Amino acid sequence: MTSATDPAHRGTDLPAVPIGVAPNGARRGRADHVALPLDAAALARDALACAQLGASWFHVHVRDAAGAHSLDPALYRDAFAAIRAEVGDALLLQMTTEAAGRYRPAQQIAAVRALRPPAVSIAVRELLADAGDYAQACALLRELATDGCAVQFIAYAAADLERLRGWLADSGAELAVEVLLVLGAYAGPRDGRPQELPGLLRQLDPDWGWSVCAFGPDEAACLLAAAALGGGVRVGFENNLWLPDGRVAADNAELLRHLVDVLAGVGLRPASAAQTRARFLRG
């Protein structure tokens, strides 16, 4: 990826928005969408298409041989290597710690320690689900801070933000805080709405960075609202398959292309991977 083809290097007078892509998630399969990327090669192809359109971070889920959600570090190493072979350093690669009903906190912590990823997302309510693992959860934050890992904490509600505040204080970790606010939910299920965002933003500490993802067909409207307020955004098949006109998107790139066009219409441009990492780490 050269600077001449990187959308983040065009119109550099415009505000830069970190745009992430969550291409698959833990729950959907090919029965949900034929273009859902499940293996390392498919993830790499998706990553290249998304990087060329302006994505700067890639939220990676890997699957085992049966197609089930996995936190296996070996599978992550294979996926990251395949993606890097296609995009180089044009994307910040993010591991997930999502439990998806398969993993307890101790297993999630062990997977992160084994992989030592450049970036990781952590759902607060999941990693703090077992009180007996709290000391190890605090130790993990200190280790990630030492590693220079770009940590993104996932919050579904104000209660998650309050728990995060206490966890950070107890850990003593000198860690830049980046929060992913989730609008809507799997459980229910419930589609996200832009009107949810102001209430969550009021619960953030002033020095916390933040981004937004959203379930359902109002994804683009939610992300536009977030970007207009200074947040990062995350798009992709993990949360939503539909374009605003009700059509199912052909692939993750089509969802992303629409979002980039919408942001450009209000004077916002994609951030580069370097800009995104610096923002997540407050560097």
Evaluate whether residue 6 is within a structural domain: no
Q: What's the pTM value of the predicted model, to 2 decimals?
A: 0.93
Q: How confident is the model at residue 263 (pLDDT cuts 50, 70, 90)?
A: very high
Q: How far apart, in whole angstroms, are the C-alpha atoms of residue 211 and residue 204?
A: 12
Identify the CA nearest to 182 among candidates 193, 173, 172: 193
For β-strands 150-155 and 119-123, DSSP reports them as parallel
pLDDT of residue 14: 58
pLDDT of residue 189: 81
Count: domains in the chain: 1
Range of the domain at 56: 16-281
Q: How far apart, in whole angstroms, are the C-alpha atoms of residue 267 and residue 276?
A: 18
pLDDT of residue 13: 53
Decide which of 216 and 110 is more confident. Answer: 110
The dihedral region occupied by 137, where left means phi > 0, alpha psi between -120 and 50, and beta the remainder, is: alpha
Evaluate whether residue 2 is within a structural domain: no
Residue with tokens 């992160």: 112
pLDDT of residue 247: 96
Evaluate whether residue 22 is within a structural domain: yes
**Least confident residue range of 8-12, 21-25, 134-138, 212-216:** 8-12
Evaluate whether residue 5 is within a structural domain: no
The CATH code of the domain that includes 26 is 3.20.20.70
Tens digit of each residue's pLDDT (9 = 90 or more) over 163-204: 999 999 999 999 999 999 999 987 778 889 999 999 999 999
Evaluate whether residue 9 is within a structural domain: no
Evaluate whether residue 102 is within a structural domain: yes
Evaluate whether residue 8 is within a structural domain: no
Tens digit of each residue's pLDDT (9 = 90 or more) over 238-254: 999 999 999 999 999 99
Asked if the model's pLDDT at residue 218 lies above 90, the reply is yes
Mean pLDDT computed over every residue of the chain: 93
Tokens of 282: 């407050």
Evaluate whether residue 4 is within a structural domain: no
